[in-house]
Amino acid sequence: MHIKNLHSALGAEVTVIDLAKPLSQADADDIEAAWRERLVVVFHGQTLSDPQLIAFSRNFGELDPPGPNPYGEPFNKEHPELNVISNVKENGKPIGNLGDGEAVWHADMTYVDVPPKAALLHALEVPPPEAGGNTYFANMFAAYEALPPELKTAAEGKTAVHDASRNSAGMLRKGYSEVTDVRQTVGAHHPLVRTDAKTGHRALFLGRRPNAYVLGLTVAESDALLDALWEHATQPRFAMCHEWRIGDLLMWNNLSVLHRRDPFDAKTRRVMHRSQIRGNERIA
Ligand code: SIN
């Protein structure tokens, strides 16, 4: 197995490994170390059945099932612990989540008290490169480090609510109603700045912008602070772009990166299977 860094801000590529086979403890430890330090780990050319994706994921902890989707039932009936991300419809019914539109910058499931610590996304079908659908990741340790002092001070000690009602494609999840006043947003409360339990390093923890609200501020103050933090955190200097190929598997550090996806040509097919690893503790 070889590991090399990708972008200056984050990302590592792991080659010469077949993830369909059981992993040695040494390889699992090296992959986990790359995930911890480089935040996004990229594998190419992996042919994995759902049970193999589950077995590989379990090297890094217990699986966390997907959150509620707009349709109210798991996409992967045989393996409900996996999610399906797809624009494909069969008999008029979506086989997966998020459609073909943009998925805005977000971290996964931060609307729960203990969000998943890792997500793994395996590409089974992808549009041709010119059709769109690239995914971007931004390093929230680097973004925190580079905050202008006045924004660092403004974020310090503040807590925000992370909206549970809509997914990153803007679709309302089943069972939720429209947020009309962000002070009423339903979702977990987390600090704007978290401290990594293992390393003590600090990172911005923003979750998702729509319907977010910083507790204790007026709506105008909250919007101004959040807009400034989001504009800072999503600059290209903190980010990498992934152009998908069939067989790619990406594993990201969900508490330490934001990610977003470009829209893509609705006439093309994009099918990905996804697992996530349960978090260990509340965000602090
Ligand atoms: C996601 O936001 O988890 C999906 C990203 C993608 O479709 O590339």
For position 68, what pLDDT does the model report?
81
pLDDT at 37 over 90: yes
CA–CA distances in Å: residue 168 to residues 22, 25, 60, 240, 275: 33, 35, 25, 19, 17
- 211-249: pLDDT as tens digits: 999 999 999 999 999 999 999 999 999 999 999 999 999
% pLDDT > 90, the chain = 94
Does the C-beta of 208 come closer than 6 Å to ligand 1? no
pLDDT at 105 over 90: yes
- 45-74: pLDDT as tens digits: 999 999 999 999 999 999 999 988 888 889
Q: Please check whether residue 127 is in contact with residue 265, taking contact to mean a CB–CB distance below 8 angstroms.
A: yes
Does the C-beta of 135 come closer than 6 Å to ligand 1? yes
Closest ligand 1 atom to residue 134 Cα is 8
What residue's CA is closest to ligand 1, atom 3?
108
For position 168, what pLDDT does the model report?
86
For residue 261, the CA-to-ligand 1 centroid distance in Å is 6
What residue's CA is closest to ligand 1, atom 5?
261
pTM of the model: 0.96
pLDDT grade, residue 102 (50/70/90)?
very high
Pocket test for ligand 1, best of 259, 262, 276 (most atoms within 8 A of CB): 259
For residue 273, the CA-to-ligand 1 centroid distance in Å is 10
Which residue did the predictor score with more confidence, 174 or 142?
142
**Beta-carbon-side half-sphere exposure of residue 22 (alpha carbons within 13 Å):** 2
Helix (H) or strand (E) holding 183: none
